[in-house]
Structure 1
């Protein structure tokens, strides 16, 4: 496990079920509309979430408590309609990366996911009646049959596959031009994350690996995944690309790594780990 890795979009200081009271009545607010946060663009980044959203903004929906940061409760709410007034603008989580500090980015990502959960679960999946938010359960409960659902988190594996000083990298047809990444995929129902890693590697690039070891994890709020990173050594096989998933895959020497993903992803952290490991090797 890489104990030095600090993932983006992760919150470690927010107390999810903390104290909602604040002696000075202060709070942080995250107004969300279709996965984007409404912010006063003229304010300083440290003050982005410090303003009480009065009137039609906050009256349009149920306010959801998402945790407490340093005795200051944090709230999110899903705006039913897009709101444009004055210097208020919508920002996606990608837009906020590098603008606000990492902890606040993690809280913002939780706010977006919880607001999205609220927006997509307003009605019961069993009987079709309306639901309400239950803070102590972090769930949406039906007002009729009392069925309750919780925020969906989709686990996915991502694997760095090395063969001495070469790294197996793959390119999805959805990637920006020139970008290569690592083999990744979602965990299926009924399988372990280890089995998912071996299966995804075999399905996407045709090789087998050994020495599968946990590296770290990262919340990936696009829309609601948990990326679980592994390192592995090549065992056997030739690269055979699944053209439905992968556009190209190849072995790259540590000194000839192609254009890398951005630093905000665990994919980049794994690749940097490989490069650092082989730094200065002949």
Structure 2
């Protein structure tokens, strides 16, 4: 049996209870992509033993519909054996799915997008073919190889003590796209060509809020399928400068006392985890 997740953009077909739906077929559809790591790509070699992710493949929802494996019905979808299926975005699952499941879903979304984006060669336009034993699209004409790409991004929690009261503080920023909701998060940005993670962190902080930082320490990382990012988290200390926001990206940025934080980003994101890590650190010190 082949077990498949169905993906559309950043959305996953889920059951009425919000659990990712697993389509079971006797044979592997040609457009299904194996989720296994390594170079064997057998259904038995999924990345690790994860009972929350009993799937071996991912498939684009449109391809599944064309093959008659699932059909649109009203505002949702029906399969042969299950009805009232819904397309739910990755962001909506952040508060309900555990990290192992989220990582696998992110992988599925990224591989599905890679499959769609590289159906034709970026150099000569010829239709590509899929390698049998690894994730790579090959151009039969110019032999260009297109592998799934991961885009590294940094995200950083910047701390200091209030210069007047000596209370511990955390820098939080409200992105322009969140100004209506009033949600605050951390400084983040893409790593550019030729940069180290540390270089990118210093640059992004200076570009977005005009500050200098020091004492970077690694926190952790998160796979983030928007579109295919690896978020790498750091904690840093404020070193110098006055806040001067980049208005095209940041609506507001301030140092907040840790007991007077504004509305922050949702749980399930590395931004939320970093904020909670800083709060716990300060609490342990007091």
TM-score calculated relative to the size of structure 2: 0.80
Is 1:214–2:218 an aligned residue pair? yes
Match of 2:244 in 1: 240
1:169 is displaced (CA, Å) by 1.1
Greater RCO, 1 or 2 (C-alpha within 8 Å, sep 6+): 1
User: Conserved in 1, the CA contact under 8 Å of 2:157 and 2:234?
Assistant: yes
1:214 is displaced (CA, Å) by 1.1
Q: Runs of 5+ in structure 2 lacking a partner?
A: 37-45, 66-70, 162-167
1:150 is displaced (CA, Å) by 1.0
Equivalent of residue 74 in structure 1, options 56, 62, 71: 56
| 3-state SS of paired residue (2:176) | coil
- Residue 52 to residue 174, structure 1, CA distance change in 2 (3 Å): same
Is 1:187–2:191 an aligned residue pair? yes
Q: Mean Cα displacement is larger for which, 168-177 or 134-143?
A: 134-143
Q: Tell me, in whole angstroms, the C-alpha distance in 1 between the residues paired with 2:202 and 2:285.
A: 29
Equivalent of residue 169 in structure 1, options 165, 169, 172: 172
User: Conserved in 2, the CA contact under 8 Å of 1:204 and 1:246?
Assistant: yes
Q: Tell me, in whole angstroms, the C-alpha distance in 2 between the residues paired with 1:248 and 1:154.
A: 26
Is 1:200–2:200 an aligned residue pair? no
Q: Tell me, in whole angstroms, the C-alpha distance in 1 between the residues paired with 2:195 and 2:121.
A: 28
- Residue 99 to residue 278, structure 1, CA distance change in 2 (3 Å): closer
Q: Runs of 5+ in structure 1 lacking a partner?
A: 1-24
Residues 79-105 of structure 1 show CA distances to partners (whole Å, capped at 9, x for unaligned) of 336641432322222233344443233
- Residue 54 to residue 252, structure 1, CA distance change in 2 (3 Å): same
Q: Number of paired residues? A: 251
User: Conserved in 2, the CA contact under 8 Å of 1:65 and 1:73?
Assistant: no
Match of 2:134 in 1: 137
TM-score calculated relative to the size of structure 1: 0.81
Is 1:279–2:279 an aligned residue pair? no
1:35 is displaced (CA, Å) by 3.2
